[in-house]
Amino acid sequence: MNELDWMREKVGRQATDSEVRYLVSLMERVEGDAGSKLVSRGTWGDSLYLLVDGRLRAFVSGAGRRLELGTIQPGNWIGEMHFVDPGPSSASVEAETPFVALRLRNELLDTMLRDNPTATSQLLRSIVRQVADRLVRTGAGAVERVGEGDFRVGDPDEPGGWLEGLFRWMFGGWR
Amino acid sequence: MFLGIESFSDFPKAERELLEDVFVRERFPRGHVFVREGDLARSSRDAICVVLEGEVAVTRAGGAVRAVLVRGDLFGIVSMCTEHPRSATCTAATDVTVAHLDKPAITYLRSEHTALAARFELLLARQLVRDLRALTRVLCDAVESGDSGALMTAFRAV
């Protein structure tokens, strides 16, 4: 699949060819080698990335411990929350393999809203769906266990135990 | 209707007036249930609501209050945008006035007023991002505190 195909898959079939081309035209190509970092936890994030080739890994680390949150495959958004509301990154993302991603900066948002509101609306609807889904899964993941009188969160069969499961619920959504 | 509400301040005056035409303003008595946890989404009653006056309590099973919504807060976005059953119950904690926007009205905006619709999608996205950040903050704080009581309380509230 090429960059246009990945974008079409993300924004949905209702988007026209020209809308998909418009969105891709605004994005800058970012490439990196295995081991390079795309996002560092705690640094200011203001960009949306669409991974189009390669494989990335999201993690949080601290106190001598590194918690893997999941593998990111082509066709996934990264940083969608920062694009609509910039802020510090909650997790780090680094390359497992050489990768290619498309980057869209928040500073273009006003221009997009003015120049092509239909395409911008398609993109924002995709982001709304993804964030809404994460919001529901995060809350559900926490509460289900309470209902059973058990405070473990996430998949109980998952390696790493309930704490890692909790963080995957909170930051995950890529797998 | 939306004058002075920060989340609507990005809308040019003409767009805000148009929004005020398509939103329906309605008053509800204390105790009115807007959204019930577990109900299937995508029902004919789905609507995005903005609190104009009063307070709306968001609760989960067992009655724990997850949030109290006040003037300018939005609710109903998740049900409108996903297939998930409703994740919480929203009840009028006082007499409440809300402005609500149903699906046909959203479809109308998307087809006839694309610039306004795009700005409205951005408003929804920003509200969801704030909600998700608040949720993760509560859970992270509880985990980092190492206090099992705090963790239990946080789990019941989210």
Q: Show pLDDT as tens, one digit a residue, over chain A (175 residues).
A: 899 999 999 998 889 999 999 999 999 999 999 999 999 988 999 999 999 999 999 887 766 667 777 889 999 999 999 999 999 988 899 999 999 999 999 999 999 999 999 999 999 999 998 888 888 776 665 444 433 333 344 443 455 555 555 565 555 554 4
A48 touches chain B (CB under 8 A): no
Q: Which residues of A touch B133 (CB under 8 A)?
A: 81, 87
The whole-model pTM stands at 0.83
DSSP alpha helix (H) spans, A26-85: 80-84
What pLDDT digit, counting tens, does each position of B13-60 carry? 899 999 999 999 999 999 999 988 888 766 666 889 999 999 999 887
Residue contacts between A and B (CB atoms, under 8 Å): 111
CB neighbour list of residue B137: distance below 8 Å, 6 or more residues apart: none
Judging contacts by C-beta atoms under 8 Å, the chain A residues touching residue B143 are 163, 166
Spatial separation of the C-alpha atoms in residues A79 and B67, rounded to whole Å: 26
* Percentage of chain B lying above the pLDDT 70 cut: 82
Closest alpha carbon to B19 in B39, B2, B42, B43: B2
**Predicted complex ipTM:** 0.84
- Please compute the mean of the pLDDT values over residues B120-149 and round it to a whole number: 78
- Rounded to 5°, the CA angle A131-A136-A138 comes to 90
Give the nearest partner residue to A124 out of B88, B118, B151, using CB atoms: B118
Please say whether the beta carbons of A23 and A11 come within 8 A: yes
Question: What's the rounded Cα separation, in Å, for the pair B49 and B31?
Answer: 16
Residue of B nearest to A62 (CA): B144
Q: State the pLDDT confidence band at B156, using cuts at 50, 70 and 90.
A: low
Return the biggest CA–CA distance within chain A: 53
pLDDT of residue A51: 95
Question: How many residues are recorded in chain B?
Answer: 158
Angle at B61 between CA B59 and CA B64, to 5 degrees: 45
Whether residue A89 lies within 8 A of chain B, CB to CB, comes out as no
pLDDT of the residue at B46:
80
Q: A4: closest CA among A75, A98, A82? A: A75
Is residue A140 within 8 Å of A173, Cβ to Cβ?
Answer: no
Give B95's pLDDT tier (boundaries 50, 70, 90). very high
Check residue A144 and give its pLDDT: 44
Query: Which pLDDT does position B144 carry in this prediction?
Result: 62
Q: Which of A89, A106, A131, A152 to mutate to test the interface with B (most CBs of B within 10 A)?
A: A131
Which pLDDT belongs to residue B63? Answer: 63
Write down the pLDDT at residue A146: 39
Q: Is A81 helix (H, G, I), strand (E, B) or coil?
A: helix
Residue B57: per-residue pLDDT: 92
Going by the DSSP 8-state scheme, the letter that residue A1 receives in this structure is -
Contacts for B111-115: CB closer than 8 Å, 24+ residues apart: B113/B15, B113/B18, B114/A117, B114/A118, B114/A121, B115/A113, B115/A114, B115/A117, B115/B15
How far is CA A103 from each of CA A48, A71, B128, B155, rounded to the nearest angstrom?
A: 6, 19, 22, 35
**What pLDDT digit, counting tens, does each position of B112-128 carry?**
999 999 999 999 999 99
- CA dihedral over B143, B145, B147, B152, signed as positive or negative: negative
- The alpha-carbon gap from B66 to the nearest alpha carbon of chain A, in Å, equals 11
Q: Is B20 exposed, middle or buried (0-12, 13-18, 19+ CB in 10 A)?
A: middle
Per-position DSSP letters for B41-96, written without gaps between them: SS-TT-EEEEEEES-EEEE-TTS-EEEEE-TT-EE-HHHHH-SSPP-SEEEESSSE
pLDDT at B121: 94
